[in-house]
Amino acid sequence: MKVFAGNSNRHLADAICSYLNVPVGKASVRRFADQEIFVEIQENVRGEDVFIIQSTSFPTNDHLMELLIMIDAFRRSSAKRITAVLPYFGYARQDRKAGPRTPISAKLVANLITEAGADRVLTLDLHAGQIQGFFDIPTDNLFAVPVLARDVKEHYDLNNVMVVSPDVGGVVRARALAKRIDCQLAIVDKRRERAGESEVMNVIGEVDGKDCLLIDDIVDSGGTLCNAAEALLKNGATSVTAYITHGVLSGGAVARIGASKLKELVITDSIQPTTAVQSAHNIRVITTANLLGEAINRTAMESSVSSLFD
């Protein structure tokens, strides 16, 4: 087994390799003057089981091209098996035709990764589970719930906690956490008037006097979370904390979260935190390195990955 990394999230790659007790593979991923990507594998990988750690986060297209070119380089270097490890799978929100004459970009990206030469994919909390079916190669979709549940148990009195889904579509994800920590579930019903804006309409469930935990897979602009936090507090919640797997946090999201009524936003390191995120007073980052490292180890050993979540 050899583990390599692109430029998207070197801190996470280092932490995963530390868990596995293996060095990060030697590879050069750099740019020509015109920003073309050049990859050079600097050690022998013939017959090796290769894992490439690369989130397709901002700048999404650059990191996606790095991944594709790295896969091609390993295929041409006679690696026995190539596993693309994507802690964050970009383009996942475009998983269906949302309107006439629009693409299904998640399927296109799945095709690109497959055609580049990947033998299998390992990813974390896909925005929609059906994206697994977009790949014609084995795909493992890991869940961050065990990592989030462990953090909740360390920081909260579970007798006074209410798990909340910020929208109807995220109920399955929220229910998984509620079941794991044995607490009740509420739902924020919202109506989206236009793209990028959300209006909270109603809170389904009794949140009065509860420490509410908003659960979702992606936080981008932060508008939905901030509106949901206000609605929950108006309905009597004692505090509102958000637990989100992928901290995209584009544009002015960090400032918006900082000025909001959220007690805290907890995100994982599936996307490398920016300087603004690291310095924010109410954003905390927890690691998924052990979860991803164990999944990589089990994949290499041909043992069960799904048993990680039993």
221 labeled binding residue: yes
93: annotated binding-site residue?
Answer: yes
Residue 279's closest CA among 254, 243, 262?
A: 254
Q: Is the dihedral of CA 298, 304, 309, 310 positive or negative?
A: negative
Give the C-alpha separation, 193 to 44, whole Å: 55
170 is in an annotated binding site: no
User: Is 36 one of the annotated binding-site residues?
Assistant: yes
Residue 136 CB neighbour total at 10 angstroms: 10
- Is 127 annotated in a binding site? The answer is yes
Provide the sign of the torsion angle of the four alpha carbons 168, 174, 178, 180, taken in this order: positive
196 is in an annotated binding site: no
Cα–Cα dist 121/140, whole Å: 6
Taking Cα atoms as reference points, which of 162, 104, 155 lies closest to residue 133? 104
Rounded distance, CA 153 to CA 136, Å?
Answer: 38
Phi, psi of 57 (to 5 degrees): -100, 180
Residue 190 annotated among the catalytic residues of the structure: yes
Out of 97, 179, 190, 210, the active site residue is 190
Q: Does residue 206 have a known ligand-binding role?
A: no
User: Are β-strands 27-31 and 37-41 bridged in parallel, bridged antiparallel, or unpaired?
Assistant: antiparallel
| Residue 228: count of CB within 10 angstroms of its CB | 26
The reply to whether 230 sits in an annotated binding site is no
Contact call for residues 51 and 118 (beta carbons, < 8 A) = no
211 and 238 Cβ atoms separated by less than 8 Å: yes
In degrees, rounded to 5, the angle at the alpha carbon of residue 59 between the alpha carbons of residues 294 and 68 is 60
Q: Cα separation of 262 and 239, whole Å?
A: 8
Spatial separation of the C-alpha atoms in residues 185 and 180, rounded to whole Å = 12
Task: Indicate the annotated binding residues.
Answer: 34-36, 93-94, 127, 167, 192, 216, 220-224
* Residues tagged active-site: 190
Task: Indicate the annotated binding residues for ATP.
Answer: 34-36, 93-94
Task: Indicate the annotated binding residues for D-ribose 5-phosphate.
Answer: 192, 216, 220-224
